[in-house]
Amino acid sequence: MRTSSRSALCLTLIPVDRFLIAALHVAALEECDTIASIKETIRGLPTDLKTLYEDTLKRISRMKPERSRIGLMALLWVTHAKRRLHIHELQQALGTRYTVGSFEVGRFDPDAVPDQAIILAASCGLLTVDASGEVYVIREFQPLFVLSFPVEYIL
């Protein structure tokens, strides 16, 4: 058996990918209300990460408009931030109203700050908060799925 640094890296990543796939599958099953819908969902669950991310973004975009906006904007903030955001910073960012595409300064509305549980639910399992309060994508540096979704998802 050949042991190279590349194969060692692949062996290291496989368990992480399996955990991530399982976590996204569980998030998909949480939408099911009956045994029949669980069975139907299980039959259609993809096993590759790209398709799982795409399906998760579609699930987020099908939520009610406010919840969908929270989930997608949270993903954008977390993946585009120069450093990890604390949950309170993310909440304040999501509570700031502005016109998408304009250069006008946003207006913070304390009544528009979403609860941590809402943010996590709206991201369909893609975001998590650690014990120190930092928010991150469940798999380190996986921006491909966020950078590639169309802008109309959040407009």
To the nearest whole percent, how much of the chain has pLDDT over 70? 74
Higher-confidence residue of 53 and 7: namely: 53
**CA pair distance 82, 58, nearest whole angstrom:** 26
Q: Is the pTM of this model over 0.75?
A: no
61-77: string of b/e by CB count within 10 Å (b at 16+)? bebeeebbbbbbbbbbb
**pLDDT given at position 8:** 34
The H or E element containing residue 8 is helix 5-29
**pLDDT given at position 139:** 64
- pLDDT above 80 for 92: yes
**pLDDT given at position 100:** 74
Average pLDDT on 117-126 reads 93
Higher-confidence residue of 50 and 121: namely: 121
Higher-confidence residue of 2 and 18: namely: 18
Higher-confidence residue of 37 and 44: namely: 37
Q: How far is CA 88 from each of CA 57, 61, 96, 123, 124, rounded to the nearest angstrom?
A: 24, 24, 13, 16, 19
- pLDDT above 60 for 95: yes
Per the prediction, the chain carries an average pLDDT of 78
Q: How far is CA 48 from each of CA 14, 16, 53, rounded to the nearest angstrom?
A: 12, 13, 9
Average pLDDT on 88-103 reads 90
- pLDDT above 50 for 118: yes
- pLDDT above 50 for 3: no
Q: Which amino acid is at 26?
A: V
**CA pair distance 149, 60, nearest whole angstrom:** 12
Closest CA to 122 of 89, 77, 81: 77
**CA pair distance 73, 79, nearest whole angstrom:** 10
- pLDDT above 60 for 149: no
- pLDDT above 60 for 60: yes
